[in-house]
Structure 1
């Protein structure tokens, strides 16, 4: 049986070698990484394959079969943000170098770090009797919302259609509210719309925020973390919720943006795609249809949605339930109280939530400083954080997917020297 130290060692090896494979988003480079992972997986006897609906956009699918048809999906992606200027990095961004207790390179956290964590978790699951099947997907095209990545897999692969729950990136971050440490679990994402504004008018670039009715996730966060004062802020909503959250996070190493948490956010900017024109970007919380939010926001500029505005992109907000067994398992398996939150960005999670499948962003124990380096120079992940993530996620997955009789007595195989 593989123990934790061996699993972590191999996971770090996988991470370092993946970083050395350039999978910059939008270039169709993921197949090389997917094929490399597939060869390594099949050498271990895993049921693995590469799915490539478009040349270069290959994704890895690996299945550990359980006794039931129900399955848990472990989601990750192979593409990365561009490196940018190599001169801004203190180390080679495609080296996967280990130094000072960190693995350095593009994708170390987002998202090759999670790819490698799932690899280590599967090593530990190799001989675990499973009730639920466990499916691992290392998908192409996440950073560009490509139609050839997780979206295509969900629509065309039977393995993913059987999944009733998904664990993905996007949460697990440490958060201190007042004197109490928490971890945040991403349970939804704001909607996104991009509109081309009418010509012949003067627009000032800038941002506008409109207070929204709080989604249940953020009501729960305020009530759980803030006691009586938090319940008061949740009831008053608006500026009270923003102020209270800012004040509660004053000593937190990583802070959530309270305006994104409690407001529909609008931004007017010059269009790159249409020179000489302006675009409106909207990020809207769950609870209202995007069309209604957009119409409300456009009135700030004296505009109406159906009068001269061209809709370029539209994604509705998504949210997963807070009473789902997978979310409850996340609470039970973690060493800190867990709070739900709605993310302002978009990820592959939306493809599954839109199909009615609960998704929870949960990549725990990543240092706050490492989170700030995603999509920036000197991206890195600490070896200690990687190890803790493997341990916690193995505990979660094994308890949730294992045979109930096995799960009752399950202990992680430790042998740290």
Structure 2
């Protein structure tokens, strides 16, 4: 469906503007901790208010501001929420080729902490709001823009705080978020992902108790040794495979665009949950792809932290590990506990730490279809596939309001091993062409959805 002529911006001019908006945002140091996201919120407020768009800044502290703006529709359809976050992770400046807060452009790339995670999406969503206003697009839905604080540290001072204190500001039927939209290539075929599902967090503490004593007199009832024995049960162990609608769509979508012999190999993964791992191992893809796919197929468990003892000559009475566990859509912590007990034993001391709900959105929704249509217009040879995010985003908070959330931060596919700068890595960067392309794709997606 073509966008109405009156809503079409001058993309040469708009492309230059989105670059400058992102450069401005990258120059604001919003490392979390401590955050200081109000710096970005005030910048966004000034830009939006200058063009007559209502907005407000809310948050639990003066320096932890979340910006929320709204364009009013005629109310015939429920709102659309554009989600993003303005905080970024830490940097080691001495390991960067360019100032991580300089917004520098070199060799076609814009460098800076947050260039991909996710001030690029902040800038693109900001441009969508400005263009909708400038071109007087008739809206059937309100369009809400939330640039949240604190996502990198769990969202407790950002999206979660807004959900618990000002839910009416962001209540929406649908939302667009990070987690998808990127291009990839498999066996020479291009794909674009749309995140339709996200694992929940079921992190837990695994504890072992023993008899304390002097370090010079060893004994077998040692809490550290008992904990080590429990953790060793994870070596070579796998939780069972469980197919979800999103992963079925992901694998079938990949297979659809492949030649018959390779398509058959991908579809073999879905033939039986009991043989899925063997089928994944046989796929003609890189090991990194296989690792990610294996995680998409199951509830995952990874030990990440160990704690025990107060001094070197004292045998501690307790030792515990913290494990990063992620659960598939439709799984509860109580159900997941049964899988953990199958590994560690029913007597294992397991305590969940602030679990969050996994998510899965409809693959046949009007918004998902529009995303596919717009991407097809801009890259006709590519295939759009749903994807399950193995990590987490602010969607875990906003979904509590009943919002159907898709991860779609469009990035143009650019071939080559150096095409993308690493998220959370040194020299994080985005290709200028990708940013400009993404801003257009996002705007056209939003416009078609909210003006129908």
Alignment TM class, shorter chain as reference: 0.7 to 0.9
What displacement does 1:147 show? 2.1
Return 5+ residue gaps in structure 2 as ranges. 1-7, 209-222, 257-262, 311-318, 377-381
Cα distance in structure 1, aligned partners of 2:374 and 2:39: 35
2 CA distance for matches of 1:106 and 1:71?
31
From 387, 390, 398, the counterpart of 2:439: 390
Which whole-Å deviations, capped at 9, do the CAs of 1:304-348 have from their partners, x for residues lacking one? Answer: 4xx532222311321111122111211111123211111111101
1:81 aligns with one of 80, 85, 89: 89
Is the 2:241–2:276 contact (alpha carbons within 8 Å) kept by the matching residues of 1?
Answer: no
How far 1:87 moved relative to its partner?
1.3
- Kept in 2: contact 1:178–1:250 (CA 8 A): no
Pick the aligned partner of 2:335 from 292, 306, 312: 292
Show the counterpart of 1:408: none
Quick check: 1:341 aligned with 2:387? yes
Measured on the aligned residues, the alpha-carbon RMSD in Å equals 2.5
Corresponding position of 1:281: 324
| Mapping of residues 190-201 of structure 1, within 5 Å | 190-199=199-208, 200=223, 201=226
Match of 2:215 in 1: none
Q: How many residues align?
A: 398
**Change in CA separation of 1:281 and 1:92 when aligned onto 2, cut-off 3 Å:** same
User: Hey, what's the Cα distance between the residues in 2 that align with 1:224 and 1:146?
Assistant: 32
CA displacement at 1:268 relative to structure 2: 2.5
Which residue in 1 is equivalent to 2:273? Answer: 237
Between the aligned partners of 1:220 and 1:236, the Cα distance in structure 2 is: 15
2:297 equivalent in structure 1: 262
Of the candidates 152, 167, 174, which is equivalent to residue 183 of structure 2?
174
> What residue is the counterpart of 2:23 in the other structure?
16
Deviations 1:142-164 (A, max 9, x none): 11113221122234142311x11
Secondary structure class of the residue paired with 1:80: coil
Residue 142 (structure 2) pairs with residue 142 (structure 1): no
Residue aligned with 2:32, SS:
coil
The 3 A distance-change label for structure 1 pair 16 and 255 is farther
CA distance in structure 2 between the aligned counterparts of 1:27 and 1:385, rounded to whole angstroms: 30
1:7-64 Cα deviation digits (max 9, x unpaired): 2222211211111111011313001110121012111222122122323110111111
Does residue 224 of structure 1 match 2:253? Answer: yes
Structure 2 Cα separation of the partners of residues 326 and 385 of structure 1: 22
Task: Output the CA distance in 2 between the equivalents of 1:74 and 1:396.
Answer: 12
Question: Partner residue of 2:58?
Answer: 51
The normalised TM-score by structure 2 is 0.81
The two structures have a TM-score, normalised by structure 1, of: 0.88
Tell me if structure 2 keeps the 8 A contact 1:89–1:377. yes
What is the rounded CA distance, in whole Å, between the counterparts of 1:176 and 1:81 in structure 2?
A: 28
Residues 3, 124 of structure 1: 8 Å contact kept: no
Separation (CA, whole Å) in 1 of partners of 2:201 and 2:359 = 10
Q: What SS does the aligned partner of 1:384 have?
A: helix
CA separation in 1, counterparts of 2:406 and 2:281? 22
- Bigger Rg, structure 1 or 2: 2
Conserved 8 A contact 1:242-1:258: no
Residue 99 of structure 1 corresponds to which residue in structure 2?
106
Given that residues 421 and 427 in structure 2 are in contact (C-alpha distance below 8 angstroms), is that contact kept between their aligned partners in structure 1? no
Aligned to 1:114: 121
In structure 2, the CA distance between the partners of 1:369 and 1:303, relative to structure 1 (3 Å rule), is: farther
Change (3 A) 1:314 1:2: same
| CA distance in structure 2 between the aligned counterparts of 1:16 and 1:360, rounded to whole angstroms | 26
